[in-house]
């Protein structure tokens, strides 16, 4: 195998595929590598940990076809460190076995490849292909995936639920402290009544990989989901288990409604949050034509800020985890946001003014 490629293009491709390679001990050593295969002027790079697989193809100046598995992190670091310009990679047999040389300018490295025969064979994706606008899917993932749990102890909460609804596709994620729901009207990758649970980690990677692509092709098999954007393919195993009945968390009405500028609220929370140390919540005092935000940390200090707002409801003080609150507001694509509540101990719902396709539900924090 021998080819040439611009450093930045090669570094991006290897780095992306490397994100699916495993660095955990106790797994197959070959899974810590990426497979690089050249046919003609096409280089295909694959990384997998058997749960998640990322495969990319890029154009190169191919001189000799071939394939090799090389340590993912090591090769990615080498390529990034090379001077800008063309990089030449040459896999050849030496006296002591195969070696891959990586060179650019006056820099030259050699790396011992891993066992090509031990690398998992990649099957072709199953399921019918459905094409969606990539921009719509990227925005929905940005809003929803942030609410998925990262705690593997509750595997179903690390996933994002895709469910078929009468109006189209619904995406839901929760870590039991917050809940994000996004509807994609007139979009469907599922049959009527069908639902699947896709790992949040995989969908996070998908956001990175979609880039400026116009369309996203989705295939759903019995145990695996595959997404294709341009020359990039991501495959992931589906999560088995029953997603919580999130509908029970959504009250039918909210008697108290706060409307406030998104940018003003974000800036105020970030300032007050400086004093919200050691899991200290940010308190919101609701009433009148302003909202007061405060944080009180014992033996450290306190912060208070007041911003203009519109409030219709009973005067009250409600407290939230500031990071979760910021994440919810940041996910909304609107100039003004609403926060709807029943009382200080019931979940509150964030929405964008005039936007009914997305909601972010947040559990309050009990304060003295």
- Span 341-364, pLDDT tens digits: 999 999 999 999 998 899 999 999
Query: Given a cut of 80, is residue 56 above it in pLDDT?
Result: yes
Query: Given a cut of 80, is residue 283 above it in pLDDT?
Result: yes
Q: Which two tokens stand for residue 4?
A: 């040439």
Residue 26: which pLDDT band, with cuts at 50, 70 and 90? low
Q: State the sign of the Cα–Cα–Cα–Cα dihedral 133, 139, 142, 143.
A: negative
Distance CA 208, CA 331 (A): 16
Query: Given a cut of 80, is residue 225 above it in pLDDT?
Result: yes
Mode of pairing for the β-strands spanning 310-312 and 316-320: unpaired
Distance CA 340, CA 338 (A): 6
Q: What is the pLDDT of residue 167?
A: 77
For a pLDDT cut of 90, what percent of the chain falls above it?
78
Query: Given a cut of 70, is residue 52 above it in pLDDT?
Result: yes
Distance CA 368, CA 366 (A): 7
In three-state secondary structure terms, 219 is: strand
For a pLDDT cut of 70, what percent of the chain falls above it?
99
- Span 177-187, pLDDT tens digits: 999 999 998 77
Query: Given a cut of 90, is residue 192 above it in pLDDT?
Result: no
> Residue 320 forms beta bridges with which residues?
282
Tell me what the mean pLDDT of segment 214-223 comes to: 90
**Contact call for residues 348 and 362 (beta carbons, < 8 A):** yes
In three-state secondary structure terms, 81 is: helix
In three-state secondary structure terms, 315 is: coil
Q: Which two tokens stand for residue 253?
A: 């009405």
Tell me what the mean pLDDT of segment 191-206 comes to: 91
Q: Which two tokens stand for residue 203?
A: 């969908």
Distance CA 33, CA 49 (A): 10
Mean residue pLDDT of the chain comes to 93
Element (H, E) at 6: strand 2-6
Q: Assign 3-state DSSP to the chain and report helix, strand, coil percentages, each to 5.
A: 25, 45, 35
Q: Which is nearest to 219 in space by CA: 140, 123, 139, 149?
A: 123
Q: What is the pLDDT of residue 158?
A: 97
Q: What is the pLDDT of residue 176?
A: 93
Could you tell me the CA-to-CA distances from 31 to 70, 117, 118, 121, 199 in Å, in that order? 10, 12, 9, 12, 19
Distance CA 145, CA 127 (A): 24
> Residue 180 forms beta bridges with which residues?
173, 360
- Span 303-339, pLDDT tens digits: 999 999 999 999 999 999 999 999 999 999 999 999 9
Query: Given a cut of 90, is residue 250 above it in pLDDT?
Result: no
Q: Which is nearest to 99 in space by CA: 72, 64, 70?
A: 70
**CA angle, residues 41, 47, 48, in degrees to nearest 5:** 145
134 class by beta-carbon count within 10 Å (0-12 exposed, 13-18 middle, 19+ buried): buried
Tell me what the mean pLDDT of segment 207-214 comes to: 87
Tell me what the mean pLDDT of segment 89-96 comes to: 85
Residue with tokens 């996203």: 216
**Contact call for residues 118 and 28 (beta carbons, < 8 A):** yes
Q: Which two tokens stand for residue 291?
A: 């909202």
Residue 103: which pLDDT band, with cuts at 50, 70 and 90? very high
Residue 124: which pLDDT band, with cuts at 50, 70 and 90? confident
Distance CA 149, CA 157 (A): 5
Residue with tokens 């400026």: 212
More confident residue, 108 or 97: 108
> Residue 114 forms beta bridges with which residues?
69
Residue 25: which pLDDT band, with cuts at 50, 70 and 90? low
Q: Which range (232-241, 271-280, 286-295) has the least confidence? A: 271-280
Q: What is the pLDDT of residue 254?
A: 86
Q: Which is nearest to 11 in space by CA: 89, 69, 65, 67?
A: 89
Query: Given a cut of 90, is residue 123 above it in pLDDT?
Result: no
More confident residue, 25 or 200: 200
Query: Given a cut of 80, is residue 95 above it in pLDDT?
Result: no
Other CB atoms within 10 Å distance of the CB of residue 106: 6
């Amino acid at each position: 195998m021998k080819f040439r490629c611009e450093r930045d293009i090669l570094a991006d491709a290897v780095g992306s595929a490397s994100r699916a390679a495993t660095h955990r001990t106790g797994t197959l050593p070959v899974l810590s590598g990426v497979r690089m295969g050249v046919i003609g002027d096409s280089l295909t790079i694959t990384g997998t940990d058997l749960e998640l697989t990322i495969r990319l193809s890029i154009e190169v100046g191919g001189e000799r076809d071939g394939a090799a598995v090389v340590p993912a992190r090591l090769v990615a670091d080498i390529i990034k460190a090379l001077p800008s310009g063309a990089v030449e990679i040459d896999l050849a047999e030496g006296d002591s076995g195969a070696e891959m040389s990586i060179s650019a300018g006056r820099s030259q490295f050699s790396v011992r490849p891993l066992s090509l025969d031990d690398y998992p064979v990649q099957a072709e994706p199953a399921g019918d292909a459905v094409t969606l606008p990539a921009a719509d899917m990227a925005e929905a993932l940005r809003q929803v995936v942030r609410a998925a749990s990262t705690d593997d102890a509750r595997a179903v909460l690390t996933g994002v639920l895709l469910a078929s609804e009468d109006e189209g596709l619904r995406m839901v994620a929760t870590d039991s402290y917050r809940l994000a729901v996004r509807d994609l009207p007139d979009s469907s990758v599922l049959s009527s009544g069908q639902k699947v649970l896709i790992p949040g980690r995989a969908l996070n990677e998908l956001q990175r990989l979609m880039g400026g692509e116009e369309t996203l092709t989705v295939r759903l098999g019995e145990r695996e989901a595959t997404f294709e954007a341009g020359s990039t393919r991501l495959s992931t195993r589906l999560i088995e288990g029953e997603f919580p009945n999130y509908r029970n968390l959504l009250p039918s009405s909210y008697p108290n409604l706060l409307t406030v500028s998104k940018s003003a609220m974000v800036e105020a929370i970030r300032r007050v949050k400086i004093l919200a140390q050691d899991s200290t919540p940010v308190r919101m005092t609701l009433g009148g034509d302003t909202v007061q935000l405060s944080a009180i940390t014992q033996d450290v200090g306190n912060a208070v800020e007041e911003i203009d707002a519109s409030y219709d409801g009973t005067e009250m003080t409600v407290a939230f985890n500031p990071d979760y609150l910021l994440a919810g507001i940041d996910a909304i694509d609107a100039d003004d946001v609403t926060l709807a509540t029943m009382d200080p101990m019931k979940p509150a719902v964030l929405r964008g003014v005039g936007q009914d396709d997305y909601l972010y539900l947040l559990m309050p924090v009990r304060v003295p």
